[in-house]
Every structure is written in structure tokens, then in C-alpha cells.
Amino acid sequence: MTFNEEWAHLKSTAQANATPSMELAGTEAKSGTAGDGTYAPNLTVYQDDLGTVGHDAYVLHRKLQKCADIDSAGLDGSGRSTTDRAARELDGHNFASGAALSKALKIWDTQRKTLQQGCARISNHLDYTKASHAKEDDDVAASLKTRDGDAVSTSALYKWIK
């Protein structure tokens, strides 16, 4: 049997025995069931987790701005960096490496800015999400009252839901 024949046989066997399904990696523990009794994982995110990830994204953004910005390193009076000046000098003496260095500098700067923007978006989004959920929790707590007229805390609601 050739490789292609064996591969076709293995694929058809796998397709015949497979049932369509989706599984998340690392979900050994069954965390809940849906109304029809099937497994439905509960996805939970804690405020501390959001804050930590958002802070790490902000720190990375600042480090990229400070340490990876070679296009602004060693600026002279005309606003050219040391790398840009070196590329122009090499190019002026007909070295092909001058144009290559200039191109590498532009690509590096574009990629750095893209990564910085991604970090800023993550940080800002998680800050917004954290504040938004805190406000929603406060609104729920303010709208629910106990028999005494006191606001019901979010932790009490969580105990009732469990």
C-alpha cells in the first residue's frame, strides 16, 4: 500500500468514527451543565486578573517606547537618529547596506509601533472592562434591597446563585 492510499484510508476511517465536537484544552474539571444536561463550562474572569494583564500590557508599552525606539535614538539637530545617519552615510558611499539598513529601520519602527498600539489597546480595554463591571456590580447592589432596606452585596448575590 502506498503512502497516499494509506493516508486516504486513515482519513476515511477517522471521519467515519468521529463525532463532531469542540473541546477547550485544559478543561478537565466539569464546571457546570446546561439546561438540557449537557456539559457547559463556566468561563470566569476575576477583576485582579484583568488588572494584572492590563498593567503588564501598559508596562510592555512603556518599555517598547523607551527601549525599542531605535528611530529616535541619538537624534541630532535635524531630527535624524544615529541609525538613520549611518544608513545615509553608507548609502552616500554607494554601499548597498545603507539602503538595507534604512529599510530595516523603517520596518522595525512600523512593527514596534504596531506592537505598542496593540499593548495600549489591551491595557485600555481591560481598564474599561474592569471599571464597567465594577459599575454594573454597584448598580445591581444599589437596586436590590434586603427586608431591612439595606443594599444587597454582590457577594450575597453570588451565594444565592450558587
64-79 pLDDT, tens per residue?
A: 888 887 777 777 777 7
pLDDT tens digit string along 42-53? 656 677 777 788
Is the pLDDT assigned to residue 115 strictly greater than 60? yes
Is the pLDDT assigned to residue 160 strictly greater than 80? no
Residue 22 to residues 12, 18, 34, Cα–Cα distance (Å): 20, 12, 15
pLDDT tens digit string along 57-66? 999 988 888 8
- The total number of structural domains that make up the chain: 1
Q: Is the pTM of this model over 0.85?
A: no
Is the pLDDT assigned to residue 36 strictly greater than 70? no
Residue 152 covered by a domain: no
Residue 96 covered by a domain: yes
Residue 49 covered by a domain: yes
Q: What is the pLDDT at residue 26?
A: 54
Residue 64 covered by a domain: yes
Can you give the length of the chain in residues?
162
pLDDT tens digit string along 116-154? 999 999 888 887 887 887 788 777 767 777 778 777 666
Q: What's the first-to-final CA gap in the chain, in angstroms?
A: 58
Residue 80 covered by a domain: yes
Residue 84 covered by a domain: yes
Residue 14 covered by a domain: no
The alpha-carbon radius of gyration of the chain (Å, integer) is: 28
State the virtual CA torsion across 117, 123, 124, 126 in degrees, nearest 10. Answer: 140
Residue 17 covered by a domain: no
Q: What is the pLDDT at residue 53?
A: 85
Q: Which domain holds residue 123?
A: 44-129
3-state secondary structure of 120: helix
